[in-house]
Amino acid sequence: MTWIDHNAPLVTANDRAAVDRVLQSGWIAPGPERHRLEEDLASYFGSGRTVATTSGTLALFLALVGLDAPAGALIAVPTYSCVALLDAVRLAGCRPLVVDVEPDELTMSPEALRDAAERIGQPYAAFVVHTYGATAALPELAKICPNIVEDCCHSFGSEGPYGRHGTFGRVAVSSLYATKVFTGATGGLCWSADPQIAERITAYTQASFRSSRWPRMTLTLSDLHAALARSQLSRLAQVRERRAWITNQYLAACPDALAPTGLPDPGRLVYRFVLRCADEKERERLLDFFHLHEVDASRLTQRHELLHRELGFDSHYFPAAEAAVARTLSLPLYPAMSDADVQRVCDLLTQLPR
Ligand X SMILES: *Cc1c(COP(=O)(O)O)cnc(C)c1O
Residues that bind ligand X (CB under 6 A): 55-57, 81-82, 84, 129, 151, 153-154, 175, 177, 188
Tell me the closest approach of the beta carbon of residue 80 to ligand X, in angstroms. Answer: 10
Closest among 90, 184, 75, 178 to 129, alpha carbons compared: 75
Of 87 and 296, CB closest to ligand X: 87
How many angstroms separate the CA atoms of 331 and 346, rounded?
10
Of 126 and 153, CB closest to ligand X: 153
DSSP secondary structure, 78-99, as one string: ESSS-HHHHHHHHHTT-EEEEE
How many angstroms separate the CA atoms of 286 and 159, rounded?
32
Closest among 181, 325, 154, 342 to 251, alpha carbons compared: 342
The per-residue b/e assignment along 17-49, b for 16 or more CB within 10 angstroms, e otherwise, is ebbeebeeeeeeebeebbeebbebbbebbeebb
How many angstroms separate the CA atoms of 196 and 201, rounded?
9
Of 57 and 247, CB closest to ligand X: 57
Tell me the closest approach of the beta carbon of residue 195 to ligand X, in angstroms. Answer: 25
Of 82 and 295, CB closest to ligand X: 82
Of 249 and 335, CB closest to ligand X: 335
Tell me the closest approach of the beta carbon of residue 151 to ligand X, in angstroms. Answer: 5
Q: Name residue 97's beta-bridge partners.
A: 76
Tell me the closest approach of the beta carbon of residue 94 to ligand X, in angstroms. Answer: 16
Tell me the closest approach of the beta carbon of residue 172 to ligand X, in angstroms. Answer: 12
Closest among 235, 224, 233 to 17, alpha carbons compared: 224
- Alpha-carbon dihedral of residues 271, 275, 279, 285, nearest 10 degrees? -110
Tell me the closest approach of the beta carbon of residue 108 to ligand X, in angstroms. Answer: 12
Residue number of the CB atom closest to ligand X: 56
Of 84 and 117, CB closest to ligand X: 84
Tell me the closest approach of the beta carbon of residue 155 to ligand X, in angstroms. Answer: 9
Of 169 and 346, CB closest to ligand X: 169
Amino acid at 167: T
